[in-house]
Amino acid sequence: MKIDTHIHITPPDIIKDYKKIGEKEPYFKLLSETPHNKFATTEQVVEHLSANAFDKGVVFGFSFQDAGLCRYVNDYTLEAIKQYPEQLIGFMTYPVDQKGLGQEIERCYKGGIRGIGELFPEGQHLDLENLHKTELKDYAKSYNLPILLHTNELVGHYYAGKTSVSLQSVEAFIRHHQDLPIILAHMGGGLIFYELMKEVRACFKNVYYDTAASIFLYDAAIYRALREMGVLDKVLFGTDYPLLPITRYESSLVDLTDGEKQAVLGGNAQRLFEKCKII
């Protein structure tokens, strides 16, 4: 089974009015006005998955600061998974430090959504080190929902969306949520390499890393390094579509054996999602 674990879908009217929405949503404005930005509807995502022989894709709307906008994109995700239940797995989003989170998680779960994210720590002004004091932990644990969290490396070239959120704060968030499956986007911003530390490996027993946009950041040799570290089983294929298509990742996987490639392209995600009773 092949699974893309990181896909953004956007309602047509938000695509149409993205500049107006950006006037009140600074992080959305920053990302949506970049030259590389693209939007994709549900139908475009399903067509892309099918054209590349992928079985499933994890889809979610943009994580706005405004709870009403989050509910709106969650509605679009709910409709998407209802329309394409075999191809799409839905995640929901919300400013998780605001009131109403538990109610929204319940609503989305009853509608078929099976994960939370992609959450934007800086874009949504989230205090990662204290999120365990919100409703997020209890509700996510109650429904066994994976949490997808945006992370980025703190060195190298600047790009839109690159934040100053520290790896220390991400580690603190994980430490307070060790019972939950957590997916760190974009190879964890390099946090994956700290699994060489025994105490980090133990704390990160339920942490996974997606490959979204990794071809912009890392040499293909990263997979040899992760093999040597013994963490390839924690790597989940994700494209960040429509930013990048599936085909752009093919050359980055050349150092993997056939078995390793099958695991990264879907086997690892399948194992996680079966554990969470998502598929």
pLDDT score of 262? 98
The stretch 225-241 carries a mean pLDDT of 98
Is residue 104 within 8 Å of 140, Cβ to Cβ?
Answer: no
pLDDT score of 228? 97
pLDDT score of 267? 98
Q: Which residue has the tokens 């993205």?
A: 18
Indicate the average pLDDT of the chain.
Answer: 97
Does pTM top 0.85 for this prediction? yes
pLDDT score of 98? 94
C-alpha–C-alpha distance, residues 251 and 228, integer Å:
20
- Using DSSP, state whether 116 is helix, strand or coil: strand
Residue 105 class from Cβ within 10 Å (0-12 exposed, 13-18 middle, 19+ buried)?
Answer: buried
Residues 149-164: tens digit of each pLDDT = 999 999 999 888 899 9
pLDDT score of 161? 87
Residues 56-113: tens digit of each pLDDT = 999 999 999 999 999 999 999 999 999 999 999 999 999 999 999 999 999 999 999 9
Confidence of residue 257 (pLDDT cuts 50, 70, 90): very high
Token pair, residue 174, equals 């994980």
Residue 39 class from Cβ within 10 Å (0-12 exposed, 13-18 middle, 19+ buried)?
Answer: middle
pLDDT score of 192? 98
pLDDT score of 170? 98
The answer, yes or no, to whether residue 212 has pLDDT greater than 90, is yes
- Overall size of the chain counted in residues: 279
C-alpha–C-alpha distance, residues 211 and 237, integer Å:
5
C-alpha–C-alpha distance, residues 137 and 134, integer Å:
7
C-alpha–C-alpha distance, residues 98 and 109, integer Å:
18
Q: Are strands 88-90 and 56-60 parallel, antiparallel or unpaired?
A: parallel
C-alpha–C-alpha distance, residues 76 and 179, integer Å:
29
pLDDT score of 159? 87
CATH topology of domain 3-275: TIM Barrel (3.20.20)
CA–CA–CA angle 76, 79, 85 (5° rounding)? 130
> What residue ranges do the domains of the chain occupy?
3-275
pLDDT score of 42? 98
Q: How many helices (H) and strands (E) does the chain have?
A: 12, 8
* Dihedral Cα 5, 8, 12, 15, nearest 10 deg: -170
C-alpha–C-alpha distance, residues 73 and 8, integer Å:
10
pLDDT score of 136? 97
C-alpha–C-alpha distance, residues 183 and 43, integer Å:
25
- Helix axes 101-110 and 136-143, enclosed angle (nearest 10): 20
The answer, yes or no, to whether residue 23 has pLDDT greater than 90, is yes
The answer, yes or no, to whether residue 140 has pLDDT greater than 90, is yes
Share of the chain above pLDDT 70, in %: 100
Query: Which carries the bigger pLDDT value, residue 173 or residue 35?
Result: 173
- Residue 255's contacts (CB-CB under 8 Å, 6 or more residues apart) are 220, 221, 223, 224
